Amino acid sequence: MIIPNKLKLGDTIGVVAPSSPIIGEKVDELKLAKKIVEDYGFKIKLSKNIYSNTNGYSSTAEEKAEDINEMFADKEVKMIWCANGGENSNIVFEKLDYDTIKENPKIICGYSDITSLTNMITQRTGLVTYSCTNFKTIATDETDYSFNQAMRVFLKNENTNIIGDKNEKYETIQEGTAQGQLIGGNLELTKGLVVGKYKVDFKDKILFLEELGFETSPAFASNYLYFMKQNGVFDQIKGLWIGNYEHESGISLEKIVLDTLEGEYKFPIIKSNNFGHIEKKAVVPIGVKAKIDTKKERKIELIEECIRSR
């Protein structure tokens, strides 16, 4: 794996919008996030097409890929922060310059739809990428928890074997131990990476999954999980880590997972509320080895470095 360098104050962070367009009130939110991060001590470079909405529902695949490719090629830029989530970051897959990305490794991060992009970059290049707060979300979160978590890892490189807060609570759904590289993110988007030309490799991985209950009913979550089961994902993974899912029915994601697995798999399953569509968003590195041990209070930890000191 290729591990990117950590940041230092004064570095330039590039911001791209590979998912939903930055229009309407999102423009002001992005500007506020820019001010927050600049006040913290960084320089911000917005991508050329950051405010594009050429298609009427997003910028084009060419515009999105151009911005990402240029940010990776730009020697001044030390980190790429995705602005916000949405539905169609996958349109860039065939237009990304994976050689340029591999030759210019740097932090790239985001959550929700962005995990489609980050998993693909890790798959195609070996670059460690990250699930964490989106750039715009820095301005819309109720607290600075998620931004501080990003700084703890990307800037300070503190306790990076620990995912999230030291006092984070983990629940055992199914007992056991496992080791493997982390892969995953949003359930619906991860499901889209199971088969086809742009599938990712789930073999011997620890899969982490979360879903937005506001948009995804338990039946839809069941659909996605069964699709993954029917295509052999759960035959390949070493462990499963369930994140946030809140639906008005009160039905939990762990229940839907267990209904899907039907007792057929023996790998450990744990649950936490520190990644995904939730206020507390930890930094979860994609492509880094982790260990699950359900006997421990902190049931998952990294066993490889996730950021490199300069």
Instruction: Report d(CA 76, CA 108) in Å as an integer.
Output: 15
pTM: 0.96
What are the pLDDT digits (tens) for 224-252? 999 999 999 999 999 999 999 999 999 99
Other CB atoms within 10 A of residue 36 CB: 16
Instruction: Please tell me the predicted confidence (pLDDT) of residue 166.
Output: 79
Q: Can you tell me the mean pLDDT for 199-206?
A: 98
Q: Which CATH class is domain 171-302?
A: alpha beta
Token couple for 175: 């007992």
Instruction: Please tell me the predicted confidence (pLDDT) of residue 168.
Output: 85
Instruction: Please tell me the predicted confidence (pLDDT) of residue 310.
Output: 72
Give me the residue spans of the domains in the chain: 12-154, 171-302
Instruction: Please tell me the predicted confidence (pLDDT) of residue 161.
Output: 86
Longest dimension (CA), the chain: 52
Instruction: Report d(CA 107, CA 265) in Å as an integer.
Output: 34
Tell me the CB-side half-sphere exposure of residue 142, using CA atoms within 13 A.
Answer: 3
pLDDT confidence bin for 23, thresholds 50/70/90: very high
What are the pLDDT digits (tens) for 72-128? 999 999 999 999 998 999 999 999 999 999 999 999 999 999 999 999 999 999 999
Q: In this model, does residue 43 exceed pLDDT 80? A: yes
Domain 12-154 belongs to what architecture? Answer: 3-Layer(aba) Sandwich (3.40)
Q: In this model, does residue 187 exceed pLDDT 90? A: yes
Q: What is the average pLDDT value for the chain, to the nearest integer?
A: 95
**In 3D, which of 129, 63, 135 has the Cα closest to residue 92?**
63
State the DSSP H helix or E strand holding residue 12, giving kind and residue range, or none if neither: strand 12-16
Instruction: Report d(CA 1, CA 128) in Å as an integer.
Output: 7
Instruction: Please tell me the predicted confidence (pLDDT) of residue 214.
Output: 84
Instruction: Please tell me the predicted confidence (pLDDT) of residue 167.
Output: 81
Instruction: Please tell me the predicted confidence (pLDDT) of residue 165.
Output: 83
What are the pLDDT digits (tens) for 132-159? 999 999 999 999 999 999 999 999 998 7
Provide the total of helices (H) and of strands (E) in the chain, helices listed first: 10, 13
Return the amino acid letter for 1. M
What burial class does residue 214 get, using C-beta atoms within 10 Å of its C-beta: 0-12 exposed, 13-18 middle, 19+ buried?
Answer: exposed
